[in-house]
Amino acid sequence: RKPVTVPGLRAMKAQGQRIVMLTAYDASFAWQLEAAGIDIALVGDSLGMVVQGHHSTLPVTLEHMVYHTAAVARGLSATLLVTDLPFMADRDVAHALEAGARLVGEAGAAMVKIEGAAPHILEATAALTARAIPVCAHLGLTPQSVHKFGGFKIQGREQEAADRVLAEALAVQAAGADLLVMEGVPVELGQRVTAALKIPVIGIGAGPHCDGQVLVIHDLLGITPGKRPKFSKDFLAGRDSVAAAIAAYAEDVRSGAFPAPEHCFN
Ligand code: KIV
Ligand code: NA
């Protein structure tokens, strides 16, 4: 398999080829993603919830992210590795650059993901990009803002809020982001943002019109502690292996069968 690259992702969008992204937190699961031909592995700070058992992503530290990113990197070859800047690692440009240096230089990620579009986030996006660290933006239901939102709530439901998310998407692209994750927004907003941007938009609970999809692997395997989010699907149900579940997810994203209407917000 040819390695997935950052410029290659933009070519996939141009060609209407859907991008398949999935989280991984250790080398064994990374190897499963690699074997299934997943395009992008994400070391999400969701590990704070599904691995560490916290109720939010806020307790995750840069040390945790470096540790898990390095483990995942050892399991990958052609799959592109993206990793999250954890809570407050983006508090200013200097911290964001230090985190980027460690996650890319030391741990082996190819790209770092940052939540939001606040002025200091746009500044950090430009500063990382200028130093050849590609950035994945993350808008909509950004989990690090759980306390501001008052829970994990769908964003951009009102017209004004939707317009704001679209403006943020254009701003992160202008700041240099090479990829955007849109989480927890109505189908129509996912479609508007995807059409407006040159960079690929990867959705999670953002409808079927995005350039690709991402899921937390624990949701895909039906082993999420507590209730599985509405936008996710248990792909292991009715199948006999982890490999078959991941392969089915990849196939359904590429064919457009996932997400179905029951996984979407209107
Ligand atoms: O941490 C994570 O897993 C994420 C995805 C849900 C996009 O940010
Ligand atoms: Na995350």
Pocket test for ligand 1, best of 84, 114, 115 (most atoms within 8 A of CB): 84
Q: Please check whether residue 80 is in contact with residue 111, taking contact to mean a CB–CB distance below 8 angstroms.
A: yes
Measured between alpha carbons, how far is 62 from 48 in angstroms, rounded to an integer? 12
Instruction: Give phi and psi for 72, each to the nearest 5.
Output: -65, -40
**Residue 212 CB–ligand 1 contact under 6 Å:** no
Which ligand has the shortest distance to the CA of 144?
2
The answer to whether residue 183 is catalytic is yes
Residue 248: in which H helix or E strand, if any?
helix 242-255
- Report residue 160 as tokens: 């004004």
pLDDT in tens, the chain (266 residues): 999 999 999 999 999 999 999 999 999 999 999 999 999 999 999 999 999 999 999 999 999 999 999 999 999 999 999 999 999 999 999 999 999 999 999 999 999 999 999 999 999 999 999 999 999 999 999 999 999 999 999 999 999 999 999 999 999 999 999 999 999 999 999 999 999 999 999 999 999 999 999 999 999 999 998 888 999 999 999 999 999 999 999 999 999 999 999 999 99
Pocket lining: 181 vs ligand 1, CB cutoff 6 Å: yes
Q: What is the CATH number of domain 6-263?
A: 3.20.20.60
Per the listing, tokens 């995750």 go with 60
Give the distance (Å) from ligand 2 centre to CA of residue 162.
Answer: 21
Q: What is the structure's pLDDT at 227?
A: 85
Ligand 1 atom 8 nearest Cα: 44
Cα of 114 vs centre of ligand 1, distance in Å, is 11
Catalytic choice (34, 115, 168, 183): 183
122 burial via Cβ count (<10 Å: 0-12, 13-18, 19+): buried
Per-residue pLDDT tens digits for 61-79: 999 999 999 999 999 999 9
Contacts of 85 (CB under 8 A, 6+ apart): 62, 65, 96, 99, 100, 103, 112, 113, 114, 115
CA of 244 relative to ligand 1 center, distance in Å: 22
pLDDT at 76: 98
Per-residue buried b or exposed e for 186-202, using 16+ beta carbons within 10 Å of the residue's own CB: bbebbbbbbeebebbbb
Is ipTM strictly over 0.90?
A: yes
